[in-house]
Structure 1
Amino acid sequence: MHPAPSIIFFTVFSGIGFGLLAFLGLGMPDYTGFTAFIFFLIAYVFAVGGLISSTFHLGNPQRALKAFTQWKTSWLSREGCLSVAALSVMGLYAIGVVFLDTHWKLLGLLGAALSLATVFGTSMIYTQIKTVPRWSHWTTPVLFLLYAIAGGAFVAGQTSIAAPLLLALGAFQCVTWFIGDKQFAASDSTIETATGLGHMGKVRMFEAPHSSKNYLMEEMVYVVGRKHVRTLRITGILCLSLLPYVLLVVPPFHHLISFVALLLHIAGALMTRWLFFAEAEHTVGLYYDQR
């Protein structure tokens, strides 16, 4: 799967934004007035900015609104509907917190639930794709939710919650890689099953299906060298989890240190999310002798 920058930006920043909205809906941090306004502004910039960036990957971005009509069958459509519901409910909740100095708890709980449901909807867009065995596994929605909750806690300033979540996120990301590396082989997809010629014996490619690159090769047949994967995984975990954890726990609290830790976390999230797409191993690659 071609790791388009717009999709990476969308999944990382919208996840953090909706994660922050979930914490705000739970009353964390417990601010009102202008300070609360700043937190809600950050959450909406991340969430809405991420959602808007996702349209840049569409062939016809002007038709994005049509995606909302397919909610019965499409997780992409369900995610869109959930995001609108979450942003609307949290918008009403924000009015009470910012302007009326009050927390409507039931509305906040509903907004928090819808925010996390939106992240789950995003994860299911990829989990449902059976032709990418690495994604079609229960670890994918859990991983997306962990990214959102850990990032949301971080931005919300909930250090006591964010610190252990960072370690849990790093550990689970490693578990996901360990399981994912075995998924394509476990799916029993081969060039024989792909061509339907297995009954005739061993199948090998005589020549490439196309003489030049095409859409499928650009979007679905992306191969990363094992050496580069190892380097990116180690660097990604260090930035995503370990270094931010150390900066949050070891030195005395300071806003500048926390900001540096947050930047490291986001950089690590962008790296690991790039790998999420680059290592997708779509079964269509079998036709191009790339699996």
Structure 2
Amino acid sequence: MHPAFSVVFFTTATGAGYGLLALLGLLGGLGFIPADFWLGLAGMALALGLIVAGLLSSTGHLGRPERAWRAFSQWRSSWLSREGVASVATFIPAGLFGIGWVFLGKSGGWVAVAGLLTATGAAVTVCTTGMIYASLKPIAQWHSRYTLPAYLIFSAMTGGVLLNALLQGFAMGSAAVLTGALLATPAGWGWKLATWRYNDRLEIPTTANTATGLAGGTVTSIEWPHTEENYLLKEMGFRVARKHSAKLRLIAQALAFAAPAALLAIVFFLPWPLGAIVSVLAAVAQLAGMLVERWLFFAEAKHTVTLYYGRQ
């Protein structure tokens, strides 16, 4: 698949934004995070800012962005439409939670209920995003048991690292949040390694014979029906060299997982504000690494439509 930056940024930004929003709603609503005005304002602004920026960037991949609103009408059959509905619906409890937790300085009661609904809405939205790709049978690398959990794990991981950086920045560091972020990072790393191992060993049963329905012998493409690449080959037939893929996998692992885990471990032994600075560096490195990881997620996927053009 062609890794358009708008979609790469969308999946990275919204994943981190919804992860942070879910944690704020859950921990803030139940009183585990203090109802501090500036902390809450910065946290909600960061979470909602990432979400809105990601959603707006996704329209850049549409042929007619002004018609994006029509996607909401297909929620009965389209995971993309369900994602749009869920993302907008989540803003309702998030707004109520923000009013109670940030501006009224309250937790528990109706604020806790709004926070729980916000966290639920964020999780559902991330699930619908993952299902957009997991439901695509023609792309074997996505249509697997690894895709949907990856979206949830990465969202919780990036959201947790952002929350830790936020708390450390306001000198309200929590050992529990720091520990959770530290544990989530190697968990995400392990899941990514397992996904790559699965995809590298994947044996796709579909061939040019089965794709065309012509049995017997070997079906080969003698001549393309056109003289230059069309939309299908540009979007569905993107190819990345194996050596480049290996190099980018190392970069993704170093930035998204190894560096943040090492930095978060160091934070336990640093006083403020050094701990805050290192926590922010961990969050920035992880988001940069996730951009690379998401790029690979699209670039390494192969659509079976390319079989019609003689590609294996």
TM-score by length of 1: 0.96
Give the AA of the match of 1:41: A
29-38 or 165-174: which moved more? 29-38
Q: CA separation in 2, counterparts of 1:87 and 1:155? A: 20
Pairing 1:97–2:101 present? yes
Counterpart among 119, 122, 143 of residue 136 in structure 1: 143
- The reply on whether 1:182 has 2:188 as its aligned counterpart is no
Alignment-derived partner of residue 82 in structure 2: 78
Q: 2:188 aligns with which of 149, 169, 175?
A: 169
CA–CA distance in 1 between the matches of 2:3 and 2:143? Answer: 18
SS across alignment from 2:148: helix
Number of the residue aligned with 1:69: 73
Over residues 49-98 of structure 1, what are the superposed CA-to-partner deviations in whole Å (9 max), with x where a residue is unaligned?
Answer: 10111111011111111111111101001111111111221111010011
Aligned to 1:192: 209
CA distance in 1, matches of 2:225, 2:311: 12
CA RMSD between the two structures: 1.2
Are 2:260 and 2:285, in contact at CA under 8 Å, matched by a contact in 1?
Answer: yes
Q: Deviations over 1:238-259 (max 9, x none)?
A: 1110111001103534211111
Asked whether the equivalents of residues 134 and 181 of structure 1 are also in contact (C-alpha less than 8 Å), the reply is no
Alignment check: 8 A CA contact 2:161 2:282 kept:
no
Alignment of 1:1-291 (within 5 A): 1-28=1-28, 29-103=33-107, 104-157=111-164, 158-183=177-202, 185=203, 187-197=204-214, 199-250=215-266, 252-253=269-270, 254-291=275-312
1:3-33 per-position Cα deviation (integer Å, ceiling 9, x unaligned): 0000000000001000000001112533331
Task: Report deviation, 1:211.
Answer: 1.3
Q: Is the 8 A contact 1:19 1:149 kept in 2?
A: yes
Q: Contact 2:208 / 2:220 at 8 angstroms: preserved in 1? A: yes
Query: Aligned equivalents of 1:98 and 1:263: distance in 2?
Result: 25
| Aligned-residue offset at 1:135 | 0.3
Structure 2 segments unaligned to the other structure (5+ residues): 165-176
- Deviation at 1:161? 0.6
Q: Is this contact kept in 2: 1:223–1:290, CA < 8 A? A: no
Query: Which amino acid in 1 is paired with 2:303?
Result: H
Q: Tell me the matched-pair count.
A: 288
Secondary structure at the counterpart of residue 210 of structure 1: coil
- Classify the secondary structure of the residue corresponding to 1:242: helix
Partners of 2:101 and 2:49 in 1: how far apart? 18
Q: How far apart are 1:175 and its partner, in Å?
A: 0.4
Measured after TM superposition, the shift of residue 290 of structure 1 is 2.4
1:194-215 Cα distance to aligned partner (Å, 9 max, x none): 1211x23111222333210110
SS of 2:201's equivalent in the other structure is helix
The 3-state SS of whatever aligns with 2:181 is helix
Q: Deviations over 1:91-131 (max 9, x none)?
A: 11010011111121111111101101100000101111100
Query: What letter is aligned with 2:116?
Result: L
Letter in 1 for 2:185: L
8 Å CA contact retained: 1:209, 1:287: no
